[in-house]
Structure 1
Amino acid sequence: MFKKGVIFMLSLLLAISFLQPLPRVQAEELVNVNASAAILIDSESGQILYEKNADEMRGIASMTKMMTEYLLLEAIKEKKVTWDQEYTVSEYVYKISQDRSLSNVPLRLGEKYNVRELYEAMTIYSANAATIALAETIAGSEAEFVKLMNKKGKELGLEKYRFVNASGLSNKDLKGMHPKPGTVEDENMMSARTTAELAFYLIKDHPEVLKTASVTKKKFREGTDDETNMENWNWMLPSLVFGYEGMTGLKTGSTNFAGYCFTGTAERDGKKFISVIMDAKDEKGKGSPKARFTETKKLLDYGFNQLDRQEIIKKGKTVKGYETADVSKGKEKQVKIQPAQTLAIYTEKGEKPNYKFNLVLKGSEITGDEKLLAPVKKDKVVGFLTLTPQNGSELKYIMNKKQQAAVSMEAAETVDKANWFVLSMRAIGGFFAGLWTAAIDTITGWF
């Protein structure tokens, strides 16, 4: 009987242990990225999925060119620059272009090149002189362009960054012609978080950049004496040596100061990620081009294989408990509302998060008692629905000002302002209702 009792108790304890939830493994333990800094984010919402030393300022090398791409594509969109606009090569750009120890296409002094071919050289082949040529095209000089880079960083809300030239080369490699007032020792720097945020805004505001960034090979000035084979430095593009399914871009970088870096973008099965690796190392602790792709693969594999994308709110579908918002002085006292976007969050596989919603009305049309003030027009954004998890991981986003998941809520119908007669009747009704309530309360107090 004693042996049977012991066996029963052991069996019971074993069964209970299986019922207990397994301790949650942190992303850092699952991925173990061998780099000085790294981050993985959702490229649609900016949700942070993994980070390592993400706020340390580090060298970014040619990942700098993402800001140059942003400013060029913005100038194109605003018609300040055109694709067929021609640029005449300056002595500075010529001297840099002739240094084939740097990534370059040869540019002839005084010759004309159009913006499109310079852009392709920069984006596909990371051509440094072509990048400086684009900076001169946009701003007149690289020094003035650097001012635009830092200004745009502030406008985008970036925090930890410093741009000192357009290409990402070390200033000491610019042959004494680096932008002033910078010094020869200055370097372009950003944190991994800021680098991911810049990439986030680049593909959000100018998604066409990926069409060029994903070109694996192209000839510069084909059919001329200057014909140059441009092979993309992003060797994770599907047809290249470290090909990765779903890889779409974006920008490699390497200098002695920065080490081997890579900002990658990939898309698969409805998931879209941005990864950043800074100063990648191999298993022996040595930096190499292969190391930045090996460590990027770890990050992306984690996202694609270990995380679930869960659509919590769907665009145009009413959210239970938040179907309407109160309206003051309208023909109707409420207006139907619905999400203007889809809200998806990432969780560890199998994790079922518990969360709560909170509706926050916004705008000048809000009355003192938190009601919308009529008229309310259909499709007008009237507030935001925020989501806060009650268990599981904290939701963190790349944009510092967005500390929680949120979607804008819009009116699903129009509610016009009520006329003076209706408003008067409501006021009279409210007055007598108030008297009746007061009378009931008084009589109830007697008993």
Structure 2
Amino acid sequence: MKKTMNTVIRLLLIPVLLFSVLAGIPAKANAETDLGLQVDAAILIDADSGKILYEQNADTALGIASMTKMMTEYLLLDAIDAGTVKWDQEYHVTDYTYKLSQNRALSNVPLRKDGSYTIRELYEAMAIYSANAATVAIAETVAGSETEFIKLMNKKAEKLGLKDYKFVNSTGLNNADLFGMQPAGTGPSDENVMPAKSVAKLAYHLLKDHPDVLKTSKIARKTFREGTEDAIKMDNWNFMLPGLVFQYEGVDGLKTGTTDFAGHCFTGTAERNGTRLISVVMKAVDTKGEGSRKARFDETAKLLNYGFSQFSKQEIIPANYTIKGQESVKVTKGKENKVAIAVKEPVSFMVKSSEKDLYKPKLVLDKKSLEAEVKKGTVVGKLVIERSEGTDYGFIDGKGLKADVVTTEAVERASGISLFFQGVGSFFGNLWSGITDFVGGLF
């Protein structure tokens, strides 16, 4: 009886022991990361390469509110570079911008009905204080009217490869707040929408093409028309900037957004130790499910903390890398019958240290052989880097993990005599192969 009881106890202990062993095994690298974000959508990317480090519901089109102004900034800065608009150019207030600017319930710097303002003044009011009438003024300056400016916004979005976007005004305000003066072809219930991935892509290209935008977006406080009776203190709505209530080390941009439709949104960017990240959170809420400015900055901090603490730029494939057994390709009509190949440039991107070894190279050749003359540096294919397990989010531009594979030396074309004897050798080689195949077939 005692022996039977011991056997039963041992059998009962087996699953307990198994559970203890399994519990001690680290989770697989392909387990999905959950940051516990209280948002409708989010994304985090490396601002240098565009590598996506994290995403959550990033392909669903949602309201973007004043994050819209990143596109308005983009088009203005394009126009400045092209010389079609100048910083000291004067804007004369229209009935539309005057009426809109008087509504202090919206973010605004009041404009005088008979006043004129430089483009730089209006730009700073837009970038720092999210001033809506100033934004419309910029749209009118660039395109002649906000209606025409919307066409430019959509054209730029298409050029950048944004997806599922819709621009109905230059500011991100609800069209219903525009006193019935919304751009032609849009209705009072229309809203600007875009997925988090497209918002991040817009910010990514904005920083690539116009990095000086950060010189203005990082200004925490400034006085509009300082020294005049129209002076108005502008506090940046990005409370993560140094000296503000939710300051976060390295933050210097980029654009907040808040409407009833979009909720509390924020496209943030921060740089630490040479690494710059771009984050987007959309419709952020607190633990009670209530949207607030604090919520969007709390969720942004979670994203940035994750990026800065878990990722680093690492070299996955060094320059001149070759795959064992595939160090060369065949060459015809050359002085040599093969040519060495290797990766042209090293491949580096942001990755978790624990996941570096999950990325494996695969050679994809464009051709199985080359005809001489072959020049050094001729592209013969790609080295595609694939993740062996888990999720890789790719790059914001969809370019993929790959590098050019090139010839590392030149091969001259053989002389006429050499080509003749190569041809003879090839003929008899093929003839002998045919005979042996025939004879072998008899047996």
Q: TM class, shorter-chain normalised?
A: 0.7 to 0.9
Q: Corresponding residue for 2:25? A: 20
Q: Corresponding residue for 1:405? A: 401
Sort the Cα spacing of 1:417 and 1:25 in 2 relative to 1 into closer, same or farther, 3 A.
closer
Question: How far apart are 1:181 and its partner, in Å?
Answer: 0.6
Q: Corresponding residue for 1:290? A: 294
Question: How far apart are 1:72 and its partner, in Å?
Answer: 2.2
Sort the Cα spacing of 1:342 and 1:443 in 2 relative to 1 into closer, same or farther, 3 A.
same
Residue 353 of structure 1 aligns to a residue whose secondary structure is helix
Sort the Cα spacing of 1:207 and 1:413 in 2 relative to 1 into closer, same or farther, 3 A.
farther
Aligned 1:152-163 pairs, distance under 5 A: 152-163=156-167
**Alpha-carbon contact 1:361-1:383 (below 8 Å) kept:** yes
Alignment partner of 1:184 out of 168, 188, 192: 188
Residue 187 of structure 2 aligns to a residue whose secondary structure is coil
Alignment partner of 1:385 out of 361, 383, 386: 383
Residue 161 of structure 1 aligns to a residue whose secondary structure is coil
Q: Corresponding residue for 1:171? A: 175
Q: Equivalents in 1 of 2:163, 2:91: separation in Å?
A: 33
Identity %: 51
Question: How far apart are 1:37 and its partner, in Å?
Answer: 1.7
Question: How far apart are 1:132 and its partner, in Å?
Answer: 1.4
What one-letter code is carried by the residue in structure 1 that aligns with 2:143? A
Q: Corresponding residue for 2:110? A: 106
The C-alpha deviation readout for 1:160-201, integer Å capped at 9, x for no partner, is: 211101111111111221101100111101112221222222
**Alpha-carbon contact 1:377-1:414 (below 8 Å) kept:** yes
Aligned 1:282-361 pairs, distance under 5 A: 282-307=286-311, 309-314=313-318, 316-321=319-324, 333-334=338-339, 336-340=341-345, 342-347=347-352, 350-361=354-365
Alignment partner of 2:71 out of 63, 67, 70: 67
Q: Equivalents in 2 of 1:199, 1:270: separation in Å?
A: 18
What one-letter code is carried by the residue in structure 1 that aligns with 2:288? K
**Alpha-carbon contact 1:47-1:395 (below 8 Å) kept:** no
Q: Corresponding residue for 1:365? A: none
Sort the Cα spacing of 1:445 and 1:330 in 2 relative to 1 into closer, same or farther, 3 A.
same
Aligned 1:135-284 pairs, distance under 5 A: 135-284=139-288
Residue 236 of structure 1 aligns to a residue whose secondary structure is coil
Q: Equivalents in 1 of 2:215, 2:404: separation in Å?
A: 30
Consecutive unaligned residues of structure 2, counting only runs of 5 or more, are: none
What one-letter code is carried by the residue in structure 2 that aligns with 1:73? L
Give the CA RMSD over aligned residues.
Answer: 3.6
Q: Corresponding residue for 2:393? A: 396
Aligned length: 435
**Alpha-carbon contact 2:128-2:216 (below 8 Å) kept:** yes
| TM-score, scaled relative to structure 1 | 0.83
The C-alpha deviation readout for 1:250-276, integer Å capped at 9, x for no partner, is: 111001111110011123245432211
Q: Equivalents in 2 of 1:416, 1:225: separation in Å?
A: 79
**Alpha-carbon contact 2:265-2:281 (below 8 Å) kept:** yes
Sort the Cα spacing of 1:86 and 1:386 in 2 relative to 1 into closer, same or farther, 3 A.
farther
Sort the Cα spacing of 1:359 and 1:208 in 2 relative to 1 into closer, same or farther, 3 A.
farther
Alignment partner of 1:133 out of 130, 137, 140: 137
The C-alpha deviation readout for 1:111-158, integer Å capped at 9, x for no partner, is: 443333322222222221222122122211111111111122222221
The C-alpha deviation readout for 1:82-138, integer Å capped at 9, x for no partner, is: 334443332222222232222223333454433333222222222212221221222
Q: Equivalents in 1 of 2:195, 2:207: separation in Å?
A: 19
**Alpha-carbon contact 2:237-2:256 (below 8 Å) kept:** yes
Alignment partner of 1:89 out of 72, 85, 93: 93
Sort the Cα spacing of 1:212 and 1:324 in 2 relative to 1 into closer, same or farther, 3 A.
farther
Question: How far apart are 1:290 and its partner, in Å?
Answer: 0.9
Q: Equivalents in 2 of 1:228, 1:378: separation in Å?
A: 63
Question: How far apart are 1:235 and its partner, in Å?
Answer: 1.2
Question: How far apart are 1:302 and its partner, in Å?
Answer: 1.8
**Alpha-carbon contact 1:238-1:247 (below 8 Å) kept:** yes
Question: How far apart are 1:237 and its partner, in Å?
Answer: 1.9
What one-letter code is carried by the residue in structure 2 that aligns with 1:389? R
Question: How far apart are 1:283 and its partner, in Å?
Answer: 1.9
Residue 76 of structure 2 aligns to a residue whose secondary structure is helix
Q: Equivalents in 1 of 2:342, 2:172: separation in Å?
A: 47
The C-alpha deviation readout for 1:319-358, integer Å capped at 9, x for no partner, is: 45476565666666425543346332423x5345333322
Residue 162 of structure 1 aligns to a residue whose secondary structure is coil
Q: Equivalents in 1 of 2:118, 2:407: separation in Å?
A: 47
**Alpha-carbon contact 1:280-1:291 (below 8 Å) kept:** yes
Q: Equivalents in 2 of 1:409, 1:127: separation in Å?
A: 50
Q: Equivalents in 2 of 1:116, 1:184: separation in Å?
A: 30
Sort the Cα spacing of 1:107 and 1:427 in 2 relative to 1 into closer, same or farther, 3 A.
farther
Residue 193 of structure 1 aligns to a residue whose secondary structure is helix
| TM-score, scaled relative to structure 2 | 0.83
Q: Equivalents in 1 of 2:412, 2:230: separation in Å?
A: 67
Alignment partner of 2:57 out of 24, 30, 53: 53
The C-alpha deviation readout for 1:31-79, integer Å capped at 9, x for no partner, is: 1111122222233333333322222221110001111122222333344
